Chains A and B, each alone.
Chain A
Amino acid sequence: MFFFYTVVLPPVLLDSTVNVKHLFIVLIGCILKVQPPKPLAKDRKEWADLEPVPQDDGPNPVVKIAYSEKFSDVYDYFRALLKNDERSDRAFALTAEAIELNAANYTVWHYRRVLLQALSKDLREEMRYITAIIEEQPKNYQVWHHRRMVVEWLNDPSEELEFIADILSQDAKNYHAWQHRQWVIQEYKLWDNELKFVENLLEDDVRNNSAWNQRHFVISHTTGFSDPAIVEREIQYCLSQIRKAPHNESAWNYLKGMLQDRGLSSPPGLLERVLELKETHCSPYLLAFLFDCYEDALENSNQKENVGEEERKDILRKALEICDLLANEKDTIRKEYWLFLGRSLENKSGSRGPSDKPPEPSDPASGQQEMS
């Protein structure tokens, strides 16, 4: 601002063509950006008593980074502070400069936390600081961990859900954000509105797998998936999303993931509902789900006596048909996998009828193959 008053303002005032609007624009510009560059630490008198410590890379360095003058300057002084274990306000201020230059330097973050406690710094202010840093660099491990520490020290999660929601509004799948969110919710028992939050995200993007995961997280930690009414509600939710976007893998994975422990054949009428969907909303995911239903039915039929040999053979035939269809036509990128599953199922359950030959392994010859 000194720059504004002594360098910018006088010529502007002397110029009769300049009006108030121009002045205003220049003033804002000066506040925001047009500051003279901050002098290096080595040129600032508050650091005069400290001898900077250059980095010890040795005589023949490897992976040597061409640091800017600013970077070397700040870190040479940081190393000096670290060496002396100096616990002062100037050290605290320098950690912010070091972080700005490399927010992934976990040693600096650790030191900043030591100083926060040693100097009894204002943690509310630290929350404001870390909020700004995360907004700038939301995909960094250290910033989120630091925020977690401050929240723990304050024992105050009251800003968290809203803050994380803001970060997720910019990138709805940010892994760190979701990790922090789950920690906050679990630690402070903030479950109440989370299912609604998830549903809103799924409204925005039904393919957001992180949101589907959060759905599973919330339900498994609250009502659980044992209650048949909950399961039915979730099945209906999945099928309704599938009807809207049949090629959304997340919805199919959720359906299976929710049911797999209790068995896919356990919800009554599910197989029929999926077979119905097959006519109008088919996808490789639907077919895979059908396969899983049949496989599950075969596994359970071992325990049930009312499933006859004919029925077993029929289920096996249908399952193997789906494997072939997926391997050769509908999901060929996973051909090796579907062929393996088919062989494996066949081996476990007994062979096909005499009219069908078992499929050959995909590659008849051994040795080297050249493709171009």
Chain B
Amino acid sequence: MDGVPTPLRCFSERHPAEMFADDGVDSVTSVEQRAVLRCLFVHFLLHSTLLREQHYQYLKKGLRHLSDAYECLDASRPWLCFWILHSLELLEEPIPTAVASDVCQFLARCQSPTGGFAGGPGQHAHLAPTYAAVNALCIIGTEEAYNVINREKLLDFLWSVKQPDGSFVMHVGGEVDVRSAYCAASVASLTNILTPKLFEDTTNWILSCQNWEGGLSGVPGLEAHGGYTFCGTAALVILGKEHMLDLKALLRWVVSRQMRFEGGFQGRCNKLVDGCYSFWQAGLLPLLHRALFKEGESELSRQRWMFEQQALQEYILLCCQNPAGGLLDKPGKSRDFYHTCYCLSGLSIAQHFGNMDLHHEMILGKEENRLVRLQCMHLH
């Protein structure tokens, strides 16, 4: 390597030319997009350092105490545990033993007597906090953590939310969408209770969510959306059925979601950039890379994912950091633990290419910006 630093993409001559081409036709979509770009332009003048210490303090505090602004997440407290623990993991900050044990005991109180985990003590079980709790316990990884999970009852819970058409409701008496299949597949796989019968017809249901755009929707018929596309694709990967998707169409859709000026990703076509899609969207590329490789694709790069890794890192570092700690959607928005988790996750993906044998890093800015490499979506 010749050691010459690569200039920031946002300072290149061509960058301003990528600002929105509105064809002289105004509409709500173009007006909103232009407002974002104006706001972002200023941010691209900042320096690209990951504010590790500030993020760490924000996360450390949040793991214990949250203001009343978080009343709206009172039915998602295992999520708060997961977002914070996963962020700490990415920052390579150790979880003190006492804290880890306290998290285990709290999550145990969130476990429902009928199986699965709820959004808080005394609430009903729901697939989303179940996913969050099980994954949080896996991050802790101690025997105490694994022992919290009642696997037999968890299986009962999964059966109780399974629908005849292969889909899952999020909770008893609740709504169906593709998130539920991912939550169910993830926890079943992690706790080793996955059986083909449990996921009978689930594959076909998920496949029916791939639409004319190439991405996946929340339920069949709706618009392709990054969050749902990730959930559906990752669920199929866990079930070993990702090859049944139209991978080429999906690939075209997801790469098209990277914004040419901002560098970050949008959730849907013609919508705005948002830091969290750094994970939901960019995270699809490693999954697709592996899927295509398994299908015999010989022309895949051995060094890069099929998205602009530098541009995404620039967006996250320059536009999505709160100087007091925590990450966010876009400049002007408030920080929160959800965005902290998924911006950092996306940053890790953008920094690290590879699989079991290969590893190629591409760190924007100082060495200290490097995050831990994300393991491949809990696949076995």
Contact = CB atoms under 8 A, between A and B. Distances in A.
Is B truly associated with A?
yes
Interface of A: 53, 55-58, 60-68, 71, 75, 79, 82, 101-107, 110, 113, 141, 144-145, 148, 172-173, 175, 178-179, 182, 186, 204-210, 213, 216-217, 244-250, 253-254, 257-258, 260, 283, 331-337, 339-340, 343-344, 347, 361-363, 365-372
Contacts of B81: 62-63
A258 to B, nearest CB: 7
Contacts of B46: none
Interface in B261-287: 263, 268-271
Interface in B36-93: 48, 62-68, 70-77, 80-81, 84
A105 B63 contact: no
A71 B74 CA distance: 10
A337 B255 contact: yes
A365 B303 CA distance: 9
Nearest to B14: A332
Contact of A104 (B75, B98, B367): B75
Given A64-B65, A207-B270, A247 B260 contact: no
Interface stretch (B151-159, B160-168, B217-225): B217-225
B106 A102 contact: no
B25 interface: yes
A67 B29 contact: no
Nearest to B227: A175
A63 B308 contact: no
A110 B271 CA distance: 33
A59 to B, nearest CB: 8
Interface in B207-225: 211-214, 218-219, 221-225
B305 A344 contact: no
A103 B76 CA distance: 12
A371 B249 CA distance: 32
A336 B255 CA distance: 10
Given A145-B174, A205-B28, A213-B211, A63 B260 contact: no
Contacts of A365: 1
Given A257-B213, A369-B361, A107 B222 contact: no
A134 to B, nearest CB: 14
25 contacts: A63-B77, A65-B70, A66-B67, A67-B71, A67-B74, A82-B122, A104-B74, A106-B119, A182-B222, A207-B30, A208-B29, A216-B212, A244-B25, A247-B20, A249-B269, A257-B214, A333-B259, A334-B307, A336-B308, A337-B307, A340-B300, A340-B306, A365-B1, A368-B1, A369-B361
Interface string B303-319: 11111101100000000
Contacts of B6: 369, 371-372
Interface of B: 1, 3, 5-8, 14, 18, 20-23, 25, 27-30, 48, 62-68, 70-77, 80-81, 84, 98-99, 102-103, 105-106, 109, 118-124, 126, 170-175, 177, 211-214, 218-219, 221-225, 249, 251-252, 255-256, 258-260, 263, 268-271, 297-308, 310-311, 360-367
Contacts of A107: 75, 118-119, 122-124
Query: What is the predominant secondary structure among interface residues of chain B facing chain A?
Result: loop
B284 to A, nearest CB: 12
A75 B366 CA distance: 48
A68 B71 contact: yes
B311 A178 contact: no
Contact of A179 (B8, B98, B219): B219
B356 to A, nearest CB: 16
Given A68-B71, A336-B308, A182 B221 contact: yes
Nearest to B99: A62
A369 to B, nearest CB: 5
Nearest 7 CB-CB pairings of A with B: A257-B212, A207-B29, A371-B6, A372-B5, A343-B299, A205-B27, A247-B21
Contacts of B364: 371-372
Nearest to B66: A65
Contact of A344 (B68, B119, B299): B299
A79 B28 contact: no
A372 B318 CA distance: 12
Given A62-B103, A207-B27, A340-B301, A371 B218 contact: no
Most chain A CB atoms below 10 A, which of B123, B259, B367: B123
Most chain B CB atoms below 10 A, which of A172, A179, A337: A337
Nearest to A60: B102
Nearest to A256: B212
B347 to A, nearest CB: 14
B310 A179 contact: no
Given A55-B122, A65-B71, 8 more contacts: A65-B77, A144-B175, A175-B225, A204-B28, A210-B223, A336-B305, A361-B301, A368-B362
A236 B30 CA distance: 23
A362 B80 CA distance: 40
Contact of A63 (B80, B172, B263, B361): B80
Given A213-B211, A249-B269, A371 B363 contact: yes
B72 to A, nearest CB: 6
Contacts of B221: 182, 186, 217
B273 to A, nearest CB: 12
A18 to B, nearest CB: 39
A79 B124 CA distance: 12
A133 B32 CA distance: 26
Nearest to A213: B223
B61 to A, nearest CB: 11
A15 B26 CA distance: 55
A106 B271 contact: no
Nearest to B105: A58
B212 A105 contact: no
Contact of A247 (B22, B80, B84): B22
Contact of A246 (B23, B123, B310): B23
Contacts of A337: 251-252, 255, 306-307
A333 B262 CA distance: 10
Nearest to A202: B27
A71 B269 CA distance: 39
Contacts of A208: 27-29, 270
Nearest to B297: A344
A209 B68 contact: no
